[in-house]
Structure 1
Amino acid sequence: MREIPYRSVGGRTLFLRVSAPAEPPRSPVPVAVFYHGGGWVKGDWTQFRPQADRLNALGMLTVLVEYRTAGPVAATEDAVAAMNAVFEVAPDLGGDPERVVAIGGSAGGHLALATAVLDLPGTNPGHRPAALVLLNPVTNTSGEFPLGFGRRYFDNDDHALRYSPLRHVGASTPPTLVMHGTADTAVHCDNSVEFVEKVRLHGGHAEIVLYPGQRHGFFNPRDDDPRAPGDGHDTYFDRTTREMIRFMRIAVFE
């Protein structure tokens, strides 16, 4: 794993953790860029390392993003800077800038979306991801549960709406896969349903997979992971990662 600095801010240097496929690629490969969750105030870049390992095994270049956990404004600034850096360094690392997938969970889902649909300082229209994979993502920052998540972090309603992906969905929103548990008490699954419906209304491609009875972060690997119905050895980490791979085979491999 390579550590590539992409931004220095507030006396801190932020890094991209980049892993290449085990077999050297003969041609540029798809790139998966992961943003961890934690409500923009906690968590770290290691969250999605297990999923990244699976994608490396498929021949993808993977990037785990470190960002400031100092609220959504700072985190979004870093997310955009990280995506710009990915596009700039990908060719030298064997990655294909035309096949970048932004992946995130919870607040990290919001950051992945920010790189795709928000127009913020530092945004480069040529550095948008080609596809999105979102796990119980924050899609509406203009309210609190169950209407949304994160309004308290913004100065006023207009400020919150500027950072709310639901407000900025349009015809250019990339193909998106959303996975969400129906028992989520942090980000209501109806937020994801509404987001997917709006993408489709604008003519875009969006899929949603709901997991009955599952709570926030159900996709994370853990020893006591509940087993999938009817399959005694299949965890929710396995199920969601397999769904992610299925979607990306269509979105960026074919």
Structure 2
Amino acid sequence: MKMQWPLLAMMGGMAMTGPVQAQTVPAAAGGGAQTIRVPVMTGQVDTIGGVIYSQIKSQRAIRPLRMTVLVPRNDDLKPAIVYFPGGGFISADYEKYSEMRTALARAGFVVAAAEYRVVPDKFPALVQDGKAAVRYLREHAADYGIDPARIGVIGDSAGGYVAQMLGTTNGERAFDKGDFTDRSSDVQAAVTLYGISDLRSIGEGFSDAVQKVHQSPAVTEALLVNGPAFGTFAGASIVSNPEKALAASSIGHMKGKKPPFLIMHGTADTLVSPMQSRHLYDALKAGGNDAELILVDGAAHGDIYWYQTPIIDRVVTWFKATLGEPIKGAAKTKGRGSNL
């Protein structure tokens, strides 16, 4: 009995269910085999890993910070998006959330996923790293086909905190440290998923037991701002110095014009209070800024809801509307450009 192989049309690594024409190859070419005609409907996306975007220098060592860049293979002048991963301020696994990053790249964006420093490194290290990632992309815009005037950021949880801080500190040069400081670190759009806007009240509205945890000098937001107990320093809670904590929060940087924000949070989040997103939205709107708040019914913190098509499509559509579409064939003629 002859084996009949199933027909599968592969479009950029994804199985397509649309009609595919097939015919039997003549016996001289190998009897029983089939050919398929595949319509070209999507472009190719190149993955460039191990990119060192910043080098943190200390007295005895140099620590490289890395990113992975997804680049649509074409001559279009493309908007870019930097993704910052969540990790509770103690990890920055930058190659996760591939579903979101891939969807954005297939929509025509250059997408850079960047690691950043975490505890025991203290604030503002992670904000400095986020801004360094943006400056790196502007410096190397011609290499990746990026329009340096259109760069957005996205992050989830602690990565949402980083994305928020980059958006709300546009124009503040105090966080610009390291290489390419002649380039702007301003961003033109920011998306935050169940992010942190006020380090003083991450557990707002939760139980007394949760509130007690967030008052501990050992909780990660306290370590981020105050550092660990050492020598004669016994450690300090995040609320021990409210002004210091506010300065390390996006809610403390509300003066001046901000880029458009898309803010999303799950109603069932038990790790970061949904009020974090509500306060950010209210503060942005009070300042006359463009902001959209979406609550995802039943979604918890980083659970399976955030990997579903309606969530990903909503983010992709918002970035396309905010940053604009790629400009066909324009990357070839675009020079180094301005200091953006």
Scaled to the shorter chain, the TM-score interval is: 0.7 to 0.9
Q: Does residue 75 of structure 1 match 2:126? A: yes
Q: Does residue 185 of structure 1 match 2:270? A: yes
Q: Residue 184 of structure 2 aligns with which residue?
A: 126
Q: Secondary structure at the match of 1:213?
A: coil
Question: After the TM superposition, which of the residue ranges 205-214 and 63-72 deviates more from structure 2?
Answer: 63-72
Q: Residue 13 of structure 2 aligns with which residue?
A: none
Q: Residue 59 of structure 1 aligns with which residue?
A: 108
Say if 2:160 and 2:193, in contact at 8 Å, map to a contact too: yes
Cα separation, 2, equivalents of 1:72 and 1:240: 32
Q: Match for 2:319: what amino acid?
A: M
Q: Secondary structure at the match of 1:199?
A: helix
- Unmatched 5+ stretches in structure 1: 219-224, 227-234
Q: Secondary structure at the match of 1:99?
A: strand
Q: Residue 203 of structure 1 aligns with which residue?
A: 288
Q: Does residue 103 of structure 1 match 2:154? A: yes
Cα separation, 1, equivalents of 2:157 and 2:298: 17
Q: Residue 334 of structure 2 aligns with which residue?
A: none
CA drift of 1:175 comes to 0.4
CA drift of 1:183 comes to 1.1
Q: Match for 2:274: what amino acid?
A: C
Q: Residue 86 of structure 1 aligns with which residue?
A: 137
Cα separation, 2, equivalents of 1:90 and 1:48: 24
Q: Does residue 4 of structure 1 match 2:4? A: no
Q: Secondary structure at the match of 2:191?
A: strand
Cα separation, 2, equivalents of 1:167 and 1:159: 10
Indicate which of 67, 74, 92 corresponds to 1:24.
74
RMSD value, Cα: 2.2
Q: Match for 2:191: what amino acid?
A: V
Q: Deviations over 1:102-155 (max 9, x none)?
A: 000011011112222234431768321100111001111123412797642323
Q: Match for 2:102: what amino acid?
A: D
Structure 1 residues 236, 56: CA separation in 2 closer, same or farther (over 3 Å shift)?
A: closer
Cα separation, 2, equivalents of 1:170 and 1:121: 16
Cα separation, 2, equivalents of 1:25 and 1:104: 28
Cα separation, 2, equivalents of 1:14 and 1:165: 23
What is the TM-score with the length of structure 2 in the denominator? 0.65
Q: Secondary structure at the match of 2:152?
A: strand
Cα separation, 2, equivalents of 1:76 and 1:108: 10
Q: Residue 146 of structure 1 aligns with which residue?
A: 204
Q: Secondary structure at the match of 2:67?
A: strand
Q: Deviations over 1:142-170 (max 9, x none)?
A: 23412797642323322211111011123
Flag the structure with higher helix content.
1
How many residues get paired? 238
Structure 1 residues 77, 171: CA separation in 2 closer, same or farther (over 3 Å shift)?
A: closer
Q: Match for 1:191: what amino acid?
A: Q
What is the TM-score with the length of structure 1 in the denominator? 0.85
Structure 1 residues 75, 126: CA separation in 2 closer, same or farther (over 3 Å shift)?
A: closer
Indicate which of 224, 227, 238 corresponds to 2:309.
238
Q: Residue 252 of structure 1 aligns with which residue?
A: 323
| Higher CA-based Rg | 2
Say if 2:196 and 2:272, in contact at 8 Å, map to a contact too: yes
- Unmatched 5+ stretches in structure 2: 1-46, 206-210, 215-219, 227-240, 326-340
CA drift of 1:72 comes to 5.4
CA drift of 1:236 comes to 4.7
Q: Residue 87 of structure 2 aligns with which residue?
A: 38
Q: Match for 1:165: what amino acid?
A: S
Indicate which of 154, 161, 179 corresponds to 2:246.
161
Q: Residue 14 of structure 1 aligns with which residue?
A: 65
Cα separation, 2, equivalents of 1:171 and 1:76: 19
Cα separation, 1, equivalents of 2:310 and 2:67: 27
